[in-house]
Structure 1
Amino acid sequence: MIQEKNSYSLVFLSIYIYILEPQTHNTKNEFEYKELEKATENFSQSRLIGKGSHGCVYKGILEEGKNIVAIKKQSLGLQKIHDNSKLENEVSILSSLPENSFIVNFLGTSHHDSSSKNETFLIMEYLPNGTLYQMLHAKNNIIPNWPKRAQIAIQVAKAIQFLHQTKPNSIVHRDIKSANILFDSNWNAKLADLGLALRMKNDDQDESPSYSYSYNSVTRPAGTIGYLDPDYTKPSKLSTKNDVFSFGVLLFEIMSSRKAIDVSKSPVSIVDWATKLIKEGQSLEICDKRMHVPWYMEATIKNMLSIATRCVSPKKITRPTIEEIVMEMENVIIDTTNNVTKTCKVTE
């Protein structure tokens, strides 16, 4: 028992040290299209590692296997209508950012012009351990323990904080969800897919975005059902609090391993289900039943569920900022670490 408590104390300490890692500046390159063709075996289906409404992601092996990257190609649907706006928007956002430990690293772009189409490709760092969605919902996966879930939550919060604190204007991700959280070789979580991201006009959270795209292109409200802020109904409603709402949904998902929307359950919405249990004083019933909740994790879990509840408040003004969320999470981790350490000393 002492050994188990000590190990969790070390886990929490490592979580706190990791979130203080400094940032470094990113370097963006222009890659040759022929190099990408070779790296993906001409964009072979065997190299396809991800697929969404905006694009497909391929595993690329460069320099005779010495460098593995992820290559994002525009979806066939957008190619057919010659809509490059989302990919160009993602390039614009990513190329303006310094490298950050909690955001998937942007390496560069490639362009291919032909008689029929002009294509842009994004080259990103390759993260080998799948998505948070897979970790929580895929069958036969190793179930994450509670310190790991807390670590993931803080890492995602730090990623959102980085975007919201970007100068001169905040960036709103607009698609925070478990499928957009990827794991590196050390199982650290990183936020990916900034295809829907928008930069605010100024630091006023209720101002409209600065981009002059038409309503039917990049600036119209967008996101994923289940995570999407119900208050975000028109471009002028864009706010960093939209991301906060989505993060609250994600927190419930991390703690429960229940999908954001599950039509096989009642209620179908994780928000409706979780907030009802919390109002009834049964917050720990939200926790993933496959993983026992040890006593020293109860305070941390209850705190994160409390944060999630405030994040999904129908009233945008009552939701916390991501800075407040990060500070509160860090403080509860430090308190939990200290309590476990004191208990270990008493029982030794």
Structure 2
Amino acid sequence: MKEFKHQELEEATCNYSKSYLIGKGSHGSIYKATLRSGQVVAIKTPSLGLCKVQNTSKVENEARILSSISPNQLIVNLLGISHDSTGHTVLVMEHMPGGMLHDLLHLSTIGSPLPSWRKRAKMAVQIARAVQFLHESKPLIIHRDIKSENILFDSKSRARLADFGLSVCINSFDPTSLPAGTIGYLDPSYTTPCKLSTKNDVFSFGVLLLEIISGTKAIDVSRTPASLVEWSRGLIEQNKIRKICDKRVNMPQHMEGVILNMLVLAIQCVSSDEESRPSMTEVVTKMESFRYPIWVDMVQSLVQLRSRKSPKTLSTSTITVVATTSGDHVGIAKKKLLLREILAGDDVLLH
């Protein structure tokens, strides 16, 4: 692992000036910096509070986990480490200029449009592949903190999984360590150390998938019930499935089948019965089998190209014919029935 001189990191952040601060959490602070080489990076330092009590284990754990993973385009990679004057570990990470999923869904402002349904489906697959990658790593890694704040976007708008401070490498797992995660995303079945499994991540992913579809937070006290999982289950029981979908974004007919498939999968992931939850490999396989209407992007590009070259655009009839050839909305009634059947077998819902 590359060791960066801490003096260079201090220079690049003007001694960790607040003007360079781009993120802050319970475990540390993140600064944007440009190194002498011209490379733009993110520097993660342990929080002052944790340093004072000599508990920087989360940052050190993240360094251990990430250093065992080969660099890839599914996660936010570790570029190297450094040590400050007191010996605390500092991480030098890839910088993600696209921001975080949480802000994209919940803090969009004028000039910053909400993600389209096509984009949501695409990012969901990318996140699923990242979690699958961890679960298929040797040794196996459980993330334990999958949430929208830990999904960042690179310069090509690809979703990357970040923040491995709570992650566990299964071959070095401390059987006495307490369950950890974020309320709202945390698997209610994960109550003791022996309950740790990949299905905990599957539950968290299911919550995140519901968040992507609904555009609402995992926990929202202004909503009844506050839990996104319970709120979604209630609407499905009442056959008000469409109300789960983000009302701020118009859903094209050709995306209805895909989003309904995603809802079915999300409900399976958050099942109270751990055994009935799919593995992340199964999740990815199912999501990749959904009929994403790639042709829609092609038609839109063609229309834009034709409109630039000539004031005449493709005829309405041509677009209509293409737009109605999708079979994605076929069988939606069956998918709604499947959702209700899944919930019918959920003990938490029925009792």
TM norm structure 2: 0.82
How far apart are the structure 1 equivalents of 2:297 and 2:5? 53
Equivalent positions of 1:38-57 (< 5 A) are 38-57=11-30
From 182, 194, 212, the equivalent of 2:152 is 182
From 270, 279, 284, the equivalent of 2:237 is 279
> Does the 8 Å contact 2:120/2:212 carry over to 1?
yes
Q: Which of the two has higher C-alpha Rg?
A: 2
How far apart are the structure 1 equivalents of 2:69 and 2:95? 18
> Does the 8 Å contact 2:269/2:278 carry over to 1?
yes
- Which structure has more relative contact order (CA 8 Å, sep 6+)? It is 1
What is aligned with 1:267?
225
> Does the 8 Å contact 2:8/2:36 carry over to 1?
no
2:221 matches 1:288: no
Deviations 1:249-283 (A, max 9, x none): 00110011101000111111110111111222222
Taking only aligned residues, the RMSD between alpha carbons, in angstroms, comes to 2.0
3-state secondary structure, aligned to 2:263: helix
What is aligned with 2:173?
211
Task: Kindly tell me the number of residue pairs found equivalent between the two proteins.
Answer: 303
What is aligned with 1:9?
none
Taking a change above 3 Å as real, the CA distance of residues 344 and 187 of structure 1, as seen in their structure-2 partners, is farther
> Does the 8 Å contact 2:22/2:31 carry over to 1?
yes
Deviations 1:126-149 (A, max 9, x none): 011210000000041311100000
What is aligned with 1:108?
80
How far apart are the structure 2 equivalents of 1:164 and 1:307? 18
> Does the 8 Å contact 2:108/2:114 carry over to 1?
no
Q: List gaps (5 residues or longer) in structure 2.
A: 300-316, 323-351
How far apart are the structure 2 equivalents of 1:221 and 1:194? 15
Taking a change above 3 Å as real, the CA distance of residues 341 and 31 of structure 1, as seen in their structure-2 partners, is closer
What is aligned with 1:229?
187
Deviation at 1:165, TM superposition (A): 0.4
Deviations 1:302-346 (A, max 9, x none): 000001000100111110000000010011045x44799999798
Q: List gaps (5 residues or longer) in structure 1.
A: 1-27, 202-209
What is aligned with 1:204?
none
Taking a change above 3 Å as real, the CA distance of residues 37 and 312 of structure 1, as seen in their structure-2 partners, is same
How far apart are the structure 2 equivalents of 1:283 and 1:170? 36
From 158, 172, 176, the equivalent of 2:142 is 172
How far apart are the structure 2 equivalents of 1:34 and 1:42? 9
2:199 matches 1:241: yes
> Does the 8 Å contact 1:296/1:340 carry over to 2?
no
3-state secondary structure, aligned to 1:118: coil
How far apart are the structure 2 equivalents of 1:181 and 1:222? 18
3-state secondary structure, aligned to 2:23: strand
3-state secondary structure, aligned to 2:97: coil
Higher mean alpha-carbon deviation, 147-156 vs 279-288, is at 279-288
3-state secondary structure, aligned to 1:78: helix
* Aligned-pair identity (%): 51
